[in-house]
Amino acid sequence: MSAIRKDVLRDENLIRNLEEIAKDTALLHGVLMRTKETPNSPEVVSYAPFTLFPSPVPSALFHQALAVQTYFNRLVDQVSQNPTFLEETLASTIKVDDFTARLFSIYRQVRQECQSQSIVLGLNRSDYMLDQNPEGGTSLKQIEINTIAASFGGLSSRTPDVHRHILKVANLLEECDQILDNNPAAGLARGLAKAWELYGSERNIPVIRRQFEDVCRTGSLDQSKRLFVDGREIAIVYFRNGYMPQNYTSEQSWEARLMMERSLAVKCPDISTHLVGTKKVQQELARPGVLERLFPDEPETVVQIRATFAGLYTLDMGEEGDKTVAMALANPDQYVLKPQREGGGNNIYGKEICEVLENMKDSSDRTAYILMDKIQPRPVENYLLRPGAPLRLSSCLSELGVFGAYVSRKGNDMVFNECVGHLLRTKSSEHADGGVAAGVAVLDNPLLV
């Protein structure tokens, strides 16, 4: 499947010319990232890595992913407000996964205090790959849903114009007209603004950026649990990180997270929504009957959500978990072993699955993971533009992300629920795992076919 003609992909003179034009165009349109060498410098930037051409995505599957997003927004919101579900689902995981256990400890403490903030703000991203079945068909399968720091809403708003210009220069005018407008940043901002409005603030929205340690040092709660940082009241806390253990560099980091969770500020995400993003919750939701209990009078909603699920299997202790271990050891190339982490680069593949499971197959340590069917997408050819890397035609795999934004009041219907845009990331097929920030995938645009 290739929407860009092979003669174009193999025209060396054209590709060399397009490479320079593409990089300049990315810089002009603000498709930028800080550099690894000077990550905190506001004066040194480079273009964010991206594909030279947009990659083909079947139109029907693309629109399926967009259509189901508001249902996933509702699902995340429902589960986050279901303490029984979270307690039971994560009971085995928090015994062996220290990081999830720390988060869950904060969740329990906040619940015991009967935190009074009823406003819930969710900015999430559901990620998919296109799975080839043995009959030659293709289906949409969810990889994960990111409920914290669902990144690249800003950059993916700017890449359509970059690819449009490249295609015009290459005289691919028909393909140029197929590039979709995409502005998730605006939709995510609408969600933030709605939560700000419900909090009761009427001024323009000033933004400050602080690390956990800064909040611990200068933050405080007043008697009504309003949060103040540097003497300013904070209406919304957006967590840019906090989803990996290394984001918590000291006990002060954890103290800051707890202070913010206890506060009256709207959290994005709040601690319960963060926990919904764990792989164990994803696996539990795929069990027969679970969606039906969460959406008892909406069979069509259940059908649409379940259609995107890949096979997900528990590693809990007991007969079912033992069966999962045996299944993985017998055919490791058919599965992915996933820990309770967001962000690329954490998953385990192939023979490494055997090494990891052999060491813990009789131990409760295995309950820190779930097993998932490995998606088998069809590779396409493209060029990956990455600073310092030679340009070559590569066999590539793509992952489609769909952004959702919602605002609700606990116990009530949503007041805002939208699918706000998409993100396509592409990597060389030689890499099993890893995102853009991990240095493996690059930004892309879907070319609907």
The DSSP call for residue 253 is H
Q: 211: part of which helix (H) or strand (E)?
A: none
C-alpha span between 341 and 323 (Å, rounded): 24
Strands (E), 116-265: 119-132, 138-146, 219-221, 227-229, 232-234, 236-238
Task: Classify residue 180 as exposed, middle or buried by CB count within 10 Å of its CB (0-12, 13-18, 19+).
Answer: middle
Which among 23, 366, 386, 425 is annotated as catalytic? Answer: 425
C-alpha span between 183 and 421 (Å, rounded): 6
Known catalytic membership, residue 381: no
Strands (E), 239-303: 266-268
| Contact call for residues 136 and 380 (beta carbons, < 8 A) | no
Copy the structure tokens of residue 411: 């116990």
The DSSP call for residue 171 is T
Distances, alpha carbon 347 to alpha carbons 81, 148, 341, 353, 440, in Å: 28, 18, 9, 9, 14
Q: 3-class DSSP state for residue 434?
A: coil
CA 307, 434, 428 angle in degrees (round to 5)? 90
Known catalytic membership, residue 425: yes
Which among 338, 341, 361, 366 is annotated as catalytic? Answer: 338
Q: CB under 8 Å, gap of 24 or more: what pairs does 413-417 form?
A: 414/73, 414/74, 414/77, 415/194, 415/198, 416/190, 416/191, 416/194, 417/70, 417/73, 417/74
Token pair 């300013």: residue: 232
Per the DSSP assignment, residues forming a β-bridge with 140 are 130
98-112 vs 83-90: helix crossing angle, rounded to 10: 150
Known catalytic membership, residue 144: yes
Which among 158, 194, 257, 279 is annotated as catalytic? Answer: 279
Token pair 């890397």: residue: 389
Which among 151, 182, 263, 408 is annotated as catalytic? Answer: 151
Nearest alpha carbon to residue 23 among 50, 44, 42: 50
Token pair 């930037």: residue: 45
Q: 3-class DSSP state for residue 311?
A: coil
Known catalytic membership, residue 125: yes
Which among 175, 342, 399, 418 is annotated as catalytic? Answer: 342
Which among 30, 154, 311, 343 is annotated as catalytic? Answer: 343
Which among 146, 182, 263, 445 is annotated as catalytic? Answer: 146
Known catalytic membership, residue 342: yes
Nearest alpha carbon to residue 312 among 94, 149, 137, 89: 89
Residue 192 carries which side chain, given as an amino acid letter?
L
Copy the structure tokens of residue 136: 């030659």
Per the DSSP assignment, residues forming a β-bridge with 227 are 221, 234
Which positions are catalytic?
A: 125, 144, 146, 151, 279, 338, 342-343, 425
